[in-house]
C-alpha cells in the first residue's frame, strides 16, 4: 500500500485495530467481504461506547453527534467518561470536553500515521517491531477492565482468539471479539438482574 493511501486510510477509517486487521487480511489476499466484516466486528465495541457516553452528549445536535461519533476512540472515551464521572453536574461543557479530548487524539493519530508510513518504509524488516501493536492495545485496554463483566469479556475474548488462531484470514480475532462481546453482555445483564 503506498504511503499516501495508508495515511488516507487513517483519516477515513480512524480506528487502529480495524486498520491493522484490514492490512493484515489484505496482505493475505482475503476477500473484501472478509476485510470489511472483520473491521465492522472489531469496531462493534463503539456501539457500547456510544450507548454509555450518549447521555453526557445529549445537548448536541444530530449533525454534531455525527461528527462526535467519527471522533470516538478507546482512549477518548475512557478519558471523557472518567472526567464526567469525577466532575460535578454542569461543571464542564461535556460536548466541548469530548471534542477537545478527541481532536487532540485525532491530530496525533493522523500525524503519527503519516510519519509512520514514510519512516516505516525505510526501517529494515529484521528490526521486528511487530510487538509494538499488541503492546499498544494492551496499554489501552488494561485500565478499562474495572469490573467482573469486563474481566470475563477480556479473558474469553483473549482465550478464544488464541484458541481460534489457526483459522484462515485471521478470523480467530473475529471469533475472540464476538465471544468477548457476548460474554460481557450476558455477564452485565446477569449482574443487573442480581
Tell me the pLDDT of the chain (194 aa) as tens digits: 788 888 898 898 888 888 888 888 888 888 899 888 888 888 888 888 888 899 899 888 999 999 999 999 888 888 888 888 887 766 678 999 999 999 999 999 999 989 988 888 788 878 776 677 677 767 767 767 778 888 999 899 999 999 999 998 778 888 888 898 899 889 988 888 87
Give residue 90's pLDDT.
63
- pLDDT for 124 equals 81
What whole-number distance in Å separates Cα of residue 22 and Cα of residue 8?
Answer: 14
The answer to whether the beta carbons of residues 105 and 80 sit under 8 Å apart is no
pTM: 0.67
- According to DSSP H, which parts of the chain are helical? 3-13, 16-27, 32-42, 45-53, 62-70, 74-86, 94-120, 132-141, 148-163, 171-193
Amino acid at each position: 500500500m503506498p504511503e499516501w493511501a495508508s495515511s488516507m486510510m487513517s483519516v477515513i477509517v480512524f480506528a487502529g485495530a480495524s486498520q491493522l486487521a484490514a492490512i493484515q487480511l489484505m496482505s493475505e489476499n482475503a476477500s473484501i467481504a472478509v476485510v470489511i466484516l472483520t473491521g465492522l466486528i472489531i469496531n462493534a465495541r463503539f456501539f457500547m461506547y456510544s450507548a454509555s457516553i450518549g447521555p453526557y452528549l445529549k445537548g448536541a445536535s444530530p449533525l454534531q453527534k455525527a461528527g462526535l461519533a467519527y471522533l470516538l476512540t478507546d482512549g477518548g472515551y475512557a478519558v471523557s467518561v472518567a472526567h464526567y464521572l469525577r466532575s460535578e453536574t454542569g461543571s464542564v461543557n461535556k460536548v466541548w470536553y469530548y471534542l477537545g479530548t478527541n481532536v487532540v487524539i485525532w491530530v496525533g493519530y493522523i500525524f503519527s500515521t503519516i510519519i509512520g508510513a514514510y519512516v516505516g518504509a525505510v526501517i529494515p524488516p529484521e528490526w521486528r517491531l511487530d510487538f509494538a501493536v499488541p503492546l499498544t492495545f494492551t496499554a489501552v485496554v488494561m485500565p478499562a477492565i474495572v469490573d467482573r463483566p469486563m474481566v470475563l469479556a477480556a479473558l474469553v475474548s483473549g482465550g478464544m482468539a488464541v484458541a481460534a488462531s489457526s483459522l484462515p484470514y485471521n478470523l480467530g480475532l473475529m471469533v475472540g471479539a464476538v465471544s468477548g462481546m457476548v460474554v460481557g453482555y450476558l455477564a452485565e445483564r446477569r449482574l443487573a438482574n442480581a
